[in-house]
Structure 1
């Protein structure tokens, strides 16, 4: 009997490790935010960190980052877009960067509410360009589908949402919860750090982006936020949204990375089937971090499509 009790205590201890580790991570503090660039909006679910880059009277472009790289990853491209005349709004999703961690599901409604409230906070009432990178492409795609009259054009960069996850960690999220769910909570922080180090943090990643990516992994709420997004919006397929864009004539530009190990090349063909009018281009030699490793090339593709009449 005593051995059963000891075994139960050991198992309970092992299962509690993820919760203990998460509790030991530091939450975002006022002192951390004191040196953050930009401002903070007090929205219904919590504080959202945001900043503007570019001329005050330019056409607005709103950028949505992925789940592992905060808004800092958009800064190199935002500066390029500012040179083109855009007024660029960057913001951190809840649980990332300098924004508050918000517990609970992270589905379409969760991400849409944050973006809608931030747009209202900043008084953005005219139509705007919406740009989504990686997992932010899912958020941008679904938001555009539900708020199409507000979107001037949709630009997707190395976007998730048109293929099934290929990693074991990601595939867990498509299955029913149970022992695998507990295993994922235990192993995910290690897997996420390895993913950032090997797949996202490339050799020519700007130092500011590298520091921002690493800082997140030490903050409370980052890993639970990612898992919530994987169970939520990242578990969906966005083919129907792209078909809707084709029917309604929303201008769409998709930019892919030629050496991307995360997004398979066949998504280019799938998007072409769903939306013949969508314009697509590839930055050859770039990995999944194309947003910040090849910001100039991405900006040139956007500029060429502006000149060619994307909208």
Structure 2
């Protein structure tokens, strides 16, 4: 049973055309709702699709996108439903919703990415999407991936009880969000910068419902079979993980490596959960080197 729709304290904005004229990006109608996106970088460069995690809007990718543009890549960033200024749809926030959003966005824009970079929950979405669209993909980058934990935390189990979940989400959702955000990055200054990007989006009505619905509806535990399925696609994979990740702890590194058999893997020291945000230059450098090895690989 899906979580009943609710609004939370502090959600004072209605997401409509007037609000969207005041924020960045372009907007396109997809099958479940309107999606915010930004296509940028050198025309003619290989397209890199950027798939975000549990809480983040498309702005999260700015640092990495700038680095990729300098290296000749084009990027497509977007906000998942319930994030940024994409619609807060009243639906199950499960794998199907998010993979269909990617399919709709690419189909509507008539774009085909050569590479996909997915972070955290977005890494799970990326793998789910990639295993069904292998023909055009040259590589997949998995960053601080979710999906390997064996059980859900108590709060997420409570949120799955529909009426109780709605009450808890409305009352304590902001606290849950802030706690999650505080664990993403090692540097307090970077945490404050990221909060300045994320927090305004959570003033939109239905944002906390979307977050809590994702926590309840999206399969984020025991996804080992998805990792194996990604390996079996034979799409070349790069695995990146922050050594000091406190959201998807890097003690799962060996398991992820064994399941994926990535072509290249890097455990980044002195880095937390958001490798792409904390280390954009290093991430882009590793990615570019990785892609170069693909170009040297015979068909």
TM-score by length of 2: 0.87
Counterpart of 1:107 (choices 88, 91, 94) is 94
Unaligned runs of 5+ in 1: 1-15
- 2:188 is paired with a residue whose SS is coil
Note the alpha carbon deviations across 1:197-239, whole angstroms, 9 max, x for none.
4545842428764322111222212111112212222435332
- Between the aligned partners of 2:197 and 2:151, the Cα distance in structure 1 is 25
Q: 4+ runs of 1 displaced by more than 4 Å?
A: none
Counterpart of 2:233 (choices 248, 253, 260) is 248
Contact 2:184–2:191 (8 Å) recurs in 1: no
Unaligned runs of 5+ in 2: none
Note the alpha carbon deviations across 1:17-59, whole angstroms, 9 max, x for none.
x946369532223333213222111222221111112111011
Mark the CA change 1:274 to 1:201 in structure 2 (over 3 Å): closer, same or farther.
Answer: closer
Q: Give the aligned partner of residue 184 of structure 1.
A: 168
Query: Is 1:195 matched with 2:171?
Result: no
Q: Give the aligned partner of residue 281 of structure 2.
A: 296
- Between the aligned partners of 1:207 and 1:32, the Cα distance in structure 2 is 24
- Between the aligned partners of 2:137 and 2:175, the Cα distance in structure 1 is 38
Mark the CA change 1:83 to 1:45 in structure 2 (over 3 Å): closer, same or farther.
Answer: same
- Between the aligned partners of 2:36 and 2:107, the Cα distance in structure 1 is 15
Query: Is 1:141 matched with 2:127?
Result: yes
Counterpart of 2:139 (choices 142, 153, 168) is 153
Mark the CA change 1:138 to 1:119 in structure 2 (over 3 Å): closer, same or farther.
Answer: same
Give the greater-gyration-radius structure (CA). Answer: 1
Contact 1:129–1:152 (8 Å) recurs in 2: yes
Structure-to-structure mapping, 1:237-276, within 5 angstroms: 237-276=222-261
Q: Give the aligned partner of residue 213 of structure 1.
A: 198
- Between the aligned partners of 1:238 and 1:282, the Cα distance in structure 2 is 21
How far is 1:86 from its partner? 1.0
Note the alpha carbon deviations across 1:165-213, whole angstroms, 9 max, x for none.
674323546xx62676356323232221232245458424287643221
Query: Is 1:131 matched with 2:117?
Result: yes
Of stretches 195-204 and 84-93 in structure 1, the one that deviates more from structure 2 is 195-204
Root mean square deviation, CA, Å: 2.6
Contact 1:77–1:292 (8 Å) recurs in 2: yes
Counterpart of 1:75 (choices 44, 48, 62) is 62
- 1:21 is paired with a residue whose SS is coil
Query: Is 1:25 matched with 2:12?
Result: yes
Contact 1:141–1:238 (8 Å) recurs in 2: no
Mark the CA change 1:23 to 1:204 in structure 2 (over 3 Å): closer, same or farther.
Answer: closer
Of stretches 39-48 and 205-214 in structure 1, the one that deviates more from structure 2 is 205-214
Of stretches 152-161 and 191-200 in structure 1, the one that deviates more from structure 2 is 191-200
How far is 1:266 from its partner? 2.5
TM-score by length of 1: 0.84
How far is 1:248 from its partner? 3.1
- Between the aligned partners of 1:201 and 1:30, the Cα distance in structure 2 is 37
Contact 1:206–1:293 (8 Å) recurs in 2: no
Query: Is 1:116 matched with 2:103?
Result: yes
- Between the aligned partners of 2:111 and 2:217, the Cα distance in structure 1 is 27
Contact 2:50–2:116 (8 Å) recurs in 1: yes
